[in-house]
Amino acid sequence: MTDAAANSPRIDRLRAGLKKRYAREKRFRAYGLLAIAIAVGFLVLLLGRIVEQGHTAFYAHTVTVPVYMDPARIDRGYPQGTNFEQLVAEQQLARMGVQDDAAGTKATAMRGLFSSELKYLAADRVARQPGLIGQTVTIAAPASDDADLFFKGKVSRDTPADQRRLSDQQIQWLDQMKADGHVSAHFNSGLFTRGDSTEPELAGVLGAVIGSALMLLVTALIAIPLGVGAALYLEEFAPKGKLTDLIEVNINNLAAVPSIIYGLLGLALFINWMHLPRASPLVGGLVLALMALPTIIIATRSSLKAVPPSIREAALAMGASKTQTVFQHTLPLAMPGVMTGAIISMAHALGETAPLLLIGMVSFVPGLPHSLVEPTGALPSLVYIWENASERAFHERTAAAILVLLAFMIVMNAAAILLRRRFERRW
Amino acid sequence: MKFKLFRAPDGSQGGGSAPEAPVISTPVVTHGAGPVGPTKISARDVSVFYGDKQALYDVSLEIPDKTVTALIGPSGCGKSTFLRTMNRMNDTISHCRVTGRIEMDGEDINAKSVDPVLLRARVGMVFQKPNPFPKTIYENVAYGPRIHGLASSKGELDDIVQISLKRAGLWEEVSDRLHSPGTGLSGGQQQRLVIARAIAVEPEVILMDEPCSALDPIATAKIEELIDELRERYCIVIVTHSMAQAARVSQRTAFFHLGRLVETGPTEEIFTNPRERRTLDYITGRFG
Ligand SMILES: Nc1ncnc2c1ncn2[C@@H]1O[C@H](COP(=O)(O)OP(=O)(O)OP(=O)(O)O)[C@@H](O)[C@H]1O
Ligand SMILES: [Mg+2]
């Protein structure tokens, strides 16, 4: 560049403008970084809080005690009838040298430290091996929810006794049992292998996970083929006109309808009118399918629109029929987008709670679901139920259930990305 | 160079012989020499409307078989539109309406009884921008024969693919990578690939819309050579913006202007001795 050119006013103007342009770019980048930082910050805060609340639900405490299978108290023919909790509590009191009063309040207090599961574990042992009667057997049973919380350090000794669920005496007993080596902590596998229960220490998410999975299956089987089919027809076959415009506007509106309205619709349509079983995965899946449909249609249409028209023209000019063009060229090219849309709407459906509450999925359902037509729980409604439960031990489990729900979603999104990659590579 | 030969009007006689002042009243001037082969396609009073806007006005043109016919004219004059009437690709544009009569081998191609799908198997098309399917080279060429059920066995299909690629002059370059993506080829190779794809169904007519506009001179030369060879078997209609190309590859030329067919005749006559002032101006580069 010559000096004359470098000093010309034109170049100066350009320079000045350039400076401004770079400054604008820098500012924009700073905004971007700030926005991302805020978003990440919120995410970390949210996740951190849930993990902090929920991580303790992933382990639990077991109390291991020797039990003398007193022949005087156990009916050989019907061991299930025995009040093992009372038996164990009395023996434990005796071992600790505590004298019970006439009303047996101490034994009751002691019983409160063991899970009611103890009864079934002991009865089961005796039923399988009647020879154990008259002998002393070691039985490991879950600690009761309050005892478990205490061992996890969530019950403060400093709280006035009338404001906590464990008395001073019970705390003293727990300390002693721990000192005696009767208490052990372990991974809470029950959380993943059990259904819901009224006892927090026995409650698990498996029933809700299965319920959610069944529901999503119904949703996917109905919403994906219907949605993709509708989008294909609207985008590729339907004559463009006032009617298709009207339909398009309405589909966009449907995507924005609050989910609780879909719940009401589902209640009226599937339960009151078609008499499908309340709170069943079938009805849940149908309602979620109604909800997912507009999203899938919109996502599919926009990915169909993104397919270059030159490919369509090429196929048509080769003498492919409309249907051949669509199914051999347009749809395969739109597939990654269709897949992503479908799975994202499924992930949405997975977390949807309001419509489930309306079709009756708020009630307590113990055990695991076996079919599409019996009442079941679902993950989001389980979160809702547990959050509203009175037992404090449910609160950490609520957070754990949220984590399971999030993990479920992450798995689905990962599947979406994998599928997308697969379809993209196949072109 | 062949082209120089035809440029005579520009130099010596340019202004002098600038014939009779533009005769707008007679829209079409046909030179004495008749069609080169028997007429393959004949258009009568073809008009095309995009919505309310008329893009073609009463075009009548005879397109002979085993001949290359070039359509020339300034941008927007309706060359592509006319080309697309011959394989009814305009049907795919919802607001497009075609009137008039187009006959192929004496049969009205717009008749109810004519299936556009079948018509397009008989009239192949090559677009301005190479548009191979995002599939393998083999699949691209095999697509037409496959959907039209032209091959009864895998071996037969392989043969069709090989012959088509050879005729399109691409075989040497791709024989060892038939199963790699067609979109991975160079622009010129892609254009020859789509020509191979078009001839794989043995069409009777091939329509080419500026097939070389995105290519370098070497690739262009290859395609032109190819067009010259294909002429022996097919009726070819080519749209081009290059006067040189029209002069090199075509036997007949039709000049369009503002949606009207201005003049048509043997290429040599159009380029050496056009009847119309507008034609002369266009081919000598004075407008358009
Ligand atoms: N799909 C369409 N919708 C509306 N108008 C169109 C459409 N396609 C073409 N036209 C109009 O029709 C006229 C002729 O267009 P056409 O594409 O046939 O021109 P062309 O001669 O091929 O031009 P070019 O040399 O630039 O390709 C133009 O005015 C164009 O704007
Ligand atoms: Mg054009």
**pLDDT single digits (tens) B198-220:** 999 999 999 999 988 877 888 88
pLDDT of residue A340: 87
Burial A13-27 (b: 16+ CB within 10 A, else e): eeeeeeeeeeeeeee
Say which residue, B285 or A399, is predicted with more confidence. A399
Q: Are B147 and A320 in contact (CB under 8 A)?
A: yes
For residues A191 and A204, give the distance between their C-alpha atoms in angstroms, rounded to a whole number: 4
Average pLDDT value for residue range A114-140: 87
Q: Residue B124 to residues A30, B88, B152, B157, B203: CA-CA distances in angstroms?
A: 55, 11, 22, 19, 6
How would residue B16 be classed by pLDDT, with cut points 50, 70 and 90? Answer: very low
pTM: 0.81
The count of CB pairs under 8 A between chains A and B is 60
Q: Would B270 be classed as within a structural domain?
A: yes
Helix, strand, coil tally for chain B in percent (to 5): 40, 25, 40
Q: Would B22 be classed as within a structural domain?
A: no
Closest CA to B97 of B88, B109, B87: B88
Q: Would B122 be classed as within a structural domain?
A: yes
B77 Cβ below 6 A of ligand 1: yes
Q: In this predicted structure, which of A40-49, A55-64, A353-362, A415-424 has the lowest mean pLDDT? A: A415-424
Distance B132 CA to ligand 1 centre (A): 23
Fill in the amino acid letter for A301. Answer: R
pLDDT of residue A6: 58
Q: Would B194 be classed as within a structural domain?
A: yes
Q: Would B31 be classed as within a structural domain?
A: no
How would residue B30 be classed by pLDDT, with cut points 50, 70 and 90? Answer: very low
What's the ipTM?
A: 0.82
pLDDT(A264) > 90 = yes
B75 Cβ below 6 A of ligand 1: yes
pLDDT of residue A241: 83
Average pLDDT value for residue range A350-373: 86
Q: Would B11 be classed as within a structural domain?
A: no
* Local structure of B124: helix, strand or coil: strand
Ligand nearest to the CA of B127: 2
> For B122-133, how does the pLDDT look when each residue is reduced to its tens digit (9 = 90+)?
999 999 889 999
Q: How many domains does chain B have?
A: 1
Long-range contact set of residues A307-316: C-beta below 8 Å, sequence gap at least 24: A307/A333, A307/A334, A308/B131, A310/B127, A310/B129, A310/B131, A311/B131, A311/B133, A311/B134, A312/B92, A313/B89, A313/B92, A313/B127, A313/B131, A314/B127, A314/B131, A314/B132, A314/B133, A314/B194, A315/B133, A315/B143, A316/B89, A316/B92, A316/B120
pLDDT(B6) > 70 = no
Q: Are B224 and B169 in contact (CB under 8 A)?
A: no
pLDDT of residue B261: 94
> For A151-179, how does the pLDDT look when each residue is reduced to its tens digit (9 = 90+)?
988 888 888 878 888 888 888 888 888 88
Q: Would B195 be classed as within a structural domain?
A: yes
Query: Containing domain of residue B92, as a range?
Result: 38-283
What phi and psi, each to the nearest 5 degrees, are found at residue A67?
Answer: -125, 125
For residues A208 and A213, give the distance between their C-alpha atoms in angstroms, rounded to a whole number: 8
Please report which helix (H) or strand (E) contains residue B72, including its range.
strand B68-72
For residues B24 and A16, give the distance between their C-alpha atoms in angstroms, rounded to a whole number: 56
For residue A319, list chain B residues with Cβ-Cβ distance below 8 A.
117-121, 144, 147-148, 201
pLDDT(A207) > 70 = yes
How would residue B36 be classed by pLDDT, with cut points 50, 70 and 90? Answer: low
pLDDT of residue A122: 87
How would residue B22 be classed by pLDDT, with cut points 50, 70 and 90? Answer: very low
Assign residue B263 the CATH number of its domain: 3.40.50.300
What is the 8-class DSSP label of residue A322? H
Q: Do B125 and A321 touch (CB under 8 A)?
A: no
Closest CA to A96 of A7, A182, A206, A35: A182
Work out the number of other CB atoms within 10 angstroms of the CB of residue B161.
Answer: 23
Instruction: Quickly tell me which residue has 């002042």 as its tokens.
Output: B21
pLDDT of residue B15: 39
Q: Mean pLDDT in chain A? A: 89
DSSP codes, A26-78: HHHHHHHHHHHHHHHHHHHHHHHHHHHHHGGGGEEEEEEEEEE--TTT--TT-
Q: Are B168 and B219 in contact (CB under 8 A)?
A: no
- Per DSSP, helices labelled H in B86-216 are 116-122, 137-147, 154-167, 171-174, 187-199
Q: Give the residue from A240, A307, A318 with the most B CB atoms within 10 Å of its CB, the best one to mutate.
A: A318
Please report which helix (H) or strand (E) contains residue A145, including its range.
helix A145-151
pLDDT(A230) > 90 = yes
pLDDT(B160) > 90 = yes
Gap from B282 CA to chain A (nearest CA, Å): 30
Q: Do A240 and B94 touch (CB under 8 A)?
A: yes
Q: Are B133 and B169 in contact (CB under 8 A)?
A: no
Window 83-102 of B, Cβ < 8 Å to A: 87, 89, 92, 94
Q: Could you list which residues have their CB under 5 Å from ion ligand 2?
A: B 80
Q: Do B147 and A319 touch (CB under 8 A)?
A: yes
Q: Would B5 be classed as within a structural domain?
A: no
B79 Cβ below 6 A of ligand 1: yes
pLDDT(B10) > 80 = no
For residues B131 and B246, give the distance between their C-alpha atoms in angstroms, rounded to a whole number: 23
